[in-house]
Each structure stands twice: as structure tokens, then as C-alpha cells.
Amino acid sequence: MGYVGLPTALGLHANGISVLGIDHDPHRLEAIRNQNVDLIGPDRERLATALGESGFELTTDVARLAEADAVMVCVPTPVDSRLLPDLGPLSDACDKLVRYARAGQTFILTSTSFIGTTATMLVGPLTDRGLTVGSDVFVASSPERIDPGNVRHTQQETPRVLGGVTPRCTDMAARVIEALSPSAHRVGSPEVAEMTKLYENTFRAVNIALANEFADICADLTLDPMEVIDAASTKPYGFMPFHPGPGVGGHCIPCDPHYLLWQLSETRTGAPLVRQAMNAIAERPRRVVERVQGVLSDNGKGMAGSRILVVGVSYKPGVRDVRSSPALEIIELLTRRGAKVGYYDPLIQRVALADGTVLESIVEPAGSDWDAALLHTVQPDHDYAWVHQCPMTVDATYRFSPSPAPC
């Protein structure tokens, strides 16, 4: 019942389907009941409605999986500190699903993972239990397409890709997916659906890495990268704008391509472009810190002892989410180089760094209290006029107006 599971449950319930939301964390379920969760406006309204109606139930009792006609697996698929897939949550969820599976159920895997996940974690174990996929139970992959905080592309307006193990599996899963999305684009297998999601996010990763590289090139040539991107965007074909930034965070781009690279390493299949893009993305926070150090140096100051305010720490504007946020690594790197670092984010009260340090957001920031401000995430509908009081600013968003020194 996280950033995918909760909106999915709300979308189904809004279409008249009874929903049982299962999560192993009772604190998460309590936060949902208290409506203390990060949702876009329409989903927040759906939650308020669902909590007051029947047919929307929350539980930690995984044995109740057996009650469902259809089960959607919506668990995180992160990477570990070595950028290798952490399959623990997904493996655990699938193990429990198989344990309580019964004839007649439809199982849909929505979590992003390696090619063959559906076959390995669901089809094989269900078969070993004596259930025939395609007649006793129905299994499909339909990777989520949810962009947290984005009200322009909601789940209800975004088509989904769907691949079943058999045509009957696809038909059964489509009954669920089409209650959530305007259409289900059917493909020939779960593997095609799995690869589609990896391709979507790898495409974004490669283009973001390219946008960051062009921003660095523009800086060397004293050009405004955003002006260049805006100009290129006037071409009505063959170009899609991607924008530079301080790095990539969240649940998809920093993780998903590594599932593909991990799998390809086993088959010794080369993917040099993807690998280089992911290396560049991983290095971006360090590049930002080097830019801050350069700005300080240009103004006669060293990093050691300088007071630096990181403005915004969520991984994208408008969300209360710091998963894989570049801001956390940037803060750690600045601190290691001797800077005295604070942060301001009206949506994030406190953050925990990798070394266990806990920082709290500055409540009422004043630009004059700091030697430099690093603009990382500018939250919508908040006043940032005070930033211009800072003696030095570095804009890693490339969108702050009027623009200070670009990153």
C-alpha cells in the first residue's frame, strides 16, 4: 500500500470494486487511515471517500490473500548500495501469494523487475503447488505507470501494457487493468511487458544523462542550456525535451536500468550506452558539489567552514519523498569537504543521512545567514524570494527565476 498500491486501490474502489489493501507495516496502514500520506489531490479525495465507505479495508493479515478474486503485487524493487537488485520485498510478496493462492484467482505483477520475473516468482511456484496457470489460476505482468505528484498524467488517463502467460490470462487480467486505466495495450507475454517498463525508464535515464552533459557543455561555452532546450523543443518531430538537474532520485530511474544491467551481466551481453548513462547519473551529485566549490572559490572562499544551505531535498517538486534523492548525497559530500550544511524544504521536516545523522529543515530561512545556497528542489506554491539575499547561489534546477549561477 505504498506509492503504487494505495492509488491503485483507490482507483479500483472508485470504480465500484471492493478492495482489500495488505501491507506488512501497521504504521503505514495507520498513516493511511489518518490520511497522512502523500497523494495528488484527486487521490486524496478518493481516500477520504473510501475511508467512510464499505468495500475498502486495510489489513496486515497476508492470509486474507485467499479471499481476493484478483491480486495485484505492488511492492518496491530497489537496488542496494552496490546498485544490484534488492529482490527481497518482491520475493517475499510472491512467496506469500503462492502460499495462499487458490483456484480461480488472477495474479498481476506490477512491480518493475528483471525479464522473467513473472515466470520465475509466480508461474513456476504456482505450478509446483499443483495449480495450472491458464485454467486454475491466471497470471500476468502489467508494470505500473504512476508518476507521484503529477496531476497531468494520472493513472486514470494513462494506458497500461499487459502481458499474460496465456491469452486467457491476459483476458482475465484486462478486466482488472481496464478498471484502472483507459486501455490495456496487450502484448504477447509477461516478458514483453517487463522489458517494456525497463525500456521506458532506461530511455529516460539515457536522455537525462545527455541533458546533464549538454548543460555542462553549455556552461563551458557560456550558453544558457534552458534556452537551447527551449529552442530545440520548437521542432515538432524528432526531438523530445529532457532537462538537466542535480541528479536523479525516486523509485524508477535510479533503480530500474540496473535490473537490466544486472541480468545482462549474467549473459555477458553488452549495453555500453546504458551503463555509461547510469554511471553519469551516479556521478551527478559529485559534479554539483564541485560546482558549488568552484563558485565559492571564485568568490575567495573555501569549502571548509562555509555555511551552505541546500534548498529542497525531495527527489522532485511537489512530493514528500526523499528516496534516492541526490540531495542526501550532496549534503554528505559537502559535509565531508568541511562545509557546515543545513537544508530547507517545506515538505520534508527531517532527513536521515547514510551515516545516521538526522537533520531538520530550517523553519524560517534567511539568505543572509548563509554563505551560499544550492537550489536542489523548488517546491510549488512556496515563497523563495529570500534566496536572493544569499551572497552566492548555485542553481542545480536550471529553472529558478531570476536565475542565479547555473550548476
Burial class (CB in 10 A: 0-12, 13-18, 19+), 116: middle
Q: Which grid coordinates belong to 375? A: 537550489
Residues 136 and 211 in one domain: no
Give percent helix, percent strand, percent coil of the chain, each to the nearest 5: 40, 15, 45
Task: Write the DSSP string, 137-178.
Answer: BEEEE------TT-SSS-GGGS-EEEEESSHHHHHHHHHHHT
Residues 266 and 340 in one domain: no
| The predicted structure's pLDDT at residue 151 | 86
CA of residue 136 relative to chain centroid, distance: 35
**What is the SS3 assignment for 292?**
helix
Range of the structural domain that residue 107 is part of:
2-187
Q: Which grid coordinates belong to 371? A: 554563505
In angstroms, the Cα distances linking 381 to 228, 250, 317, 319 are 27, 21, 10, 13
Q: Which grid coordinates belong to 73? A: 503485487
Residues 246 and 319 in one domain: no
Domain boundary residue, one of 168, 187, 206: 187
Element containing residue 19 per DSSP (H, E): strand 19-22
**Residue 373's CATH number:** 3.40.50.720
In angstroms, the Cα distances linking 357 to 317, 331, 351 are 24, 11, 8
Decide if 404 is inside a domain: no
In angstroms, the Cα distances linking 40 to 6, 191, 270, 321, 377 are 12, 31, 40, 13, 18
Q: How far apart are CA 92 and CA 384, in angstroms?
A: 44
Q: Where are the alpha helices (DSSP H) in 221-320?
A: 225-232, 256-267, 272-298
- At residue 70, φ and ψ (nearest 5 deg) are -135, 145
Domain count, the chain: 3
Domain boundary residue, one of 187, 212, 227: 187
For residue 379, which of 344, 328, 330, 407 has the smallest C-alpha distance? Answer: 344
Decide if 92 is inside a domain: yes
According to DSSP, residue 401 is labeled: S
Residues 268 and 290 in one domain: no
pTM tops 0.85: yes
Residues in the chain with pLDDT values less than 50: none
> Known catalytic residues?
252
Decide if 205 is inside a domain: yes
Decide if 405 is inside a domain: no
**Residue 254's CATH number:** 1.10.1040.10
% residues pLDDT > 70 (the chain): 98
Residues 146 and 56 in one domain: yes
